[in-house]
Homo-oligomer: A and B are copies of this chain.
């Protein structure tokens, strides 16, 4: 056969008209004309659009095979690339040979019919849903964002660090964790005290799945200056919402010699860079999302890319909220965490663009965040974006050992667990900062999809670990 081209290359005009080409993919639709040929829309995942194939009835296997190729069937097509007569299609292929590779068993029951499906239904056939317009487009945007994150970091001389997922030190002290074990669950080894004897477990001690790579990656920033993690993290929270997963991916940059203001700049630069990549590279998919899923998605991405993010102190935000005259479900008081309704009011109604909210009350933030001179707030930040609320959370880290120690004590954490984290403050400590971006939330933002379970291939949540 002639050279096998991706449909994206053909539709983008990378091949001259009248060239003989081969394309391979799956049938989206087939329409048979009485004039003696069939129109086949063939898709290969390389871009949003399928390419149209004209299959003449003169082909040897037209009746025996091609007319059996229903939606979802796979084929290899050789033919001449010609400028399309139809609307919205740049090129089509006049087939000279079609090999049907795989038919569809019982076409009437094939789950992915050429009609709209609910997202709920598609989750039950997650192994087939990438064949739909929506999930195919999510996959390309998701990939575009992920590649852009690595490119952004690499251009700025950050190193990608593979921090461990299995951890024996519950250093975050945050939330519920999944236990990792190889003990025989029906015959647990017990100590004399009636406790499980984890010294007999695989790692010789209790082990869990990590909730964040931050503490580990701080060891690397204290030698390499600019580092990041990009990998899975886990939360065993029994919350069945459209925004939470038990397993999700996080991007966590960490930068030495940087204060909170530089941290905020990095977060702003990164968000602009990755959303600009989607606007530049995935116009086809964005057009679909904007038309079918969320009519504001392109405008919203352009808003992020073209705006200068507002900086605002938590204390100022509380005043604005209290004086807003708005009725909120949750009252606003200095010292309490802001709720989604408050965050969205600030980003959407008050300033109409992303805000970096900074310097939160210490009592609602983690022990490792740097104490400000006022003794009441810490150098924490959240980036709030119109249409979604919090998309990034970060802080300058406490680099002063004495203050870190008193924070650990204050929160009743076991200091001995933090010996290595404390060592970083004993040996050439430096100011440093970092933040975390929940990757799937960025995909939600860039696509307008409503449920986080539809922007990760096989979602894991309470009661859900299918496929």
* 28 intermolecular pairs with C-beta atoms under 8 Å apart: A24-B430, A101-B429, A101-B430, A101-B431, A103-B428, A104-B426, A110-B427, A127-B219, A130-B222, A142-B159, A143-B159, A147-B160, A162-B232, A162-B249, A163-B457, A163-B458, A164-B460, A165-B247, A166-B247, A169-B467, A178-B202, A179-B180, A182-B236, A183-B185, A202-B462, A203-B463, A203-B464, A204-B463
Contact among B72, B186, B226 with A427 in the assembled complex (CB-CB below 8 Å): B72
- Mask: chain A, 2-27; 1 = CB below 8 Å from B; 0 = not: 00101010000000000000001111
Contact between chains at B180 and A209 (CB < 8 Å): yes
Q: State the CA gap A463–B4 with chains docked (Å).
A: 50
Q: State the CA gap A67–B243 with chains docked (Å).
A: 54
Given contacts A130-B223, A423-B127, contact A247 B164 (CB under 8 A): yes
Q: Which residues of B contact A105 (CB under 8 A)?
A: 426-427
User: Chain B nearest CB: distance from A111 CB in Å?
Assistant: 8
Q: Which residues of B contact A225 (CB under 8 A)?
A: 6, 24-25, 44-46
Q: State the CA gap A429–B24 with chains docked (Å).
A: 12
Contact between chains at A128 and B427 (CB < 8 Å): yes
Contact between chains at A224 and B179 (CB < 8 Å): no
Q: State the CA gap A457–B167 with chains docked (Å).
A: 13
Q: Which residues of B contact A194 (CB under 8 A)?
A: 186
Q: Which residues of B contact A162 (CB under 8 A)?
A: 142, 146, 232, 249, 439, 456-457
Residue A188 interfacial (CB < 8 Å)? yes
User: Chain B nearest CB: distance from A144 CB in Å?
Assistant: 9
User: Chain B nearest CB: distance from A257 CB in Å?
Assistant: 5
- Which residues of A from 410 to 467 have beta carbons under 8 Å from B? 420-421, 423-431, 439, 456-458, 460, 462-467
Q: Which 6 A-B pairs have CB atoms at the shortest separation, nearest pair first?
A: A45-B224, A102-B429, A130-B223, A203-B465, A74-B428, A168-B465
Contact between chains at A166 and B465 (CB < 8 Å): yes
Contact between chains at A457 and B236 (CB < 8 Å): no
Residue A139 interfacial (CB < 8 Å)? yes
Q: State the CA gap A150–B101 with chains docked (Å).
A: 30
Q: Which residues of B contact A24 (CB under 8 A)?
A: 225, 256-257, 430
Contact between chains at B8 and A157 (CB < 8 Å): yes
Residue A131 interfacial (CB < 8 Å)? yes
| Given A104-B428, A165-B232, A179-B185, 11 extra CB contacts under 8 A | A44-B225, A102-B428, A128-B219, A130-B220, A136-B224, A167-B465, A168-B466, A179-B180, A186-B188, A202-B462, A204-B465
Q: Which residues of B contact A4 (CB under 8 A)?
A: 257
- Which residues of A from 231 to 249 have beta carbons under 8 Å from B? 231-232, 234, 236, 238, 246-247, 249
